A = this chain, B = another copy of it.
Amino acid sequence: MTIAQTSNSRARVADPGEGIGLDELALATRNHGLPLEALRYDVTPPGLHYVLTHFDIPATDAHSWQLEIGGAVDRPTTLSLADLMRRPAVTSRVLLECAGNGRARFEPRPVSQPWLLEAVGTAEWTGTPLAPLLTEAGLSPDAVDVAFTGADHGVERGVEQDYARGLPVPEALRPEVLLVWGMNGMPLLPQHGAPLRLVVPGWYGMAHVKWLSRIEVLTERFTGYQNATAYRLKVDADDPGEPVTRIRPRALMAPPGWPDFMTRERFLRPGPVSLTGRAWSGRAALTGVEVSTDGGLSWAQADLAPADPAHPYAWRAWTYDWTATTGACELLVRATDELGGQPVEQEWNRQGMANNLVQRVPVTVLP
């Protein structure tokens, strides 16, 4: 499919100094993030895990829900939720992050869902592995991509669509890819894709299709809007760009002390402070977390909790013991994985995707 490069198909970039628009605010009030103090929970409680819904949360009914598996398979199949729940079930703790996390701090700002840094969460998902379902359906040896379609419907940059994403066959066949109906020991919540969603550990959130109603095996690349246009890394509007795939390394800090209601500026008292947070990478093993308490002039290793073999796709806790002294300072944290670390200066792209610029937490230590 060729994407027509009309003005309608281009993401808008805000003018220098332009405030957040009512359109961006409407997205910010619908799609909620993780307040960063909630990094304290190993598993994010309901309602604190980030949610991004492109269109509306559809009205769905678990009892009549059907999942179709078709396309380049020998035996097209339709399964009810009960059919799926009779299959072997696993529970997996998975870090999820929106590909647009951090977008609102880009300069100039790509106009879309204006995340600051809170588009993240770790939940325990219960479901059944996808690979055996594809194998049982008789996956064609010519299969290239698997397309997943949700029940959410709308228009994006002029294209009316059901939300759909393609995933390369080798990724779809990974044993950790699940079709899930449970979250944190409860039935999936409406905003997280009830009654059925896809979970692709390690990939940004756009791959984890919610309200999953159809799986289609393709013998060529999937060219739907969300793969070909929306989730691309590109600097120039006419550049086709590279696809957004796995989560880049990031560490976040639970801001210490207490906030000002309006500015969110942080205050604390002098003395020992345990800085804490989480770190993750979806593309390679984490190798370390560093903290700066002087605005990035110097860095020191934080204590990174060892990788937990029981939860290979979860985030990892880190701590750093700091002695706060009176005055203003800026705290930074950055993670590194086997492929590299987080940039201290922004690496801008036109749609604000896969941005892992370091977090900065200005604090005032009172006398």
Residues of A within 8 A of B (CB): 18-30, 32-33, 35, 37-38, 40-41, 45-49, 51, 53-57, 59, 104, 111-112, 114-116, 118, 153-157, 160, 189-192, 258-264, 267
Contact = CB atoms under 8 A, between A and B. Distances in A.
B19 A155 contact: no
Contacts of A114: 25, 29
Contacts of A155: 258-261, 267
A124 to B, nearest CB: 15
A27 B41 CA distance: 21
Among A22, A24, A41: residue with most chain B CB under 10 A: A22
A19 to B, nearest CB: 2
B29 A20 contact: no
B23 A263 contact: yes
Contacts of A20: 19-22, 24-25
A275 to B, nearest CB: 15
A132 to B, nearest CB: 31
A59 to B, nearest CB: 6
Nearest to A57: B37
B104 A22 contact: yes
Nearest to A55: B259
Nearest to A21: B19
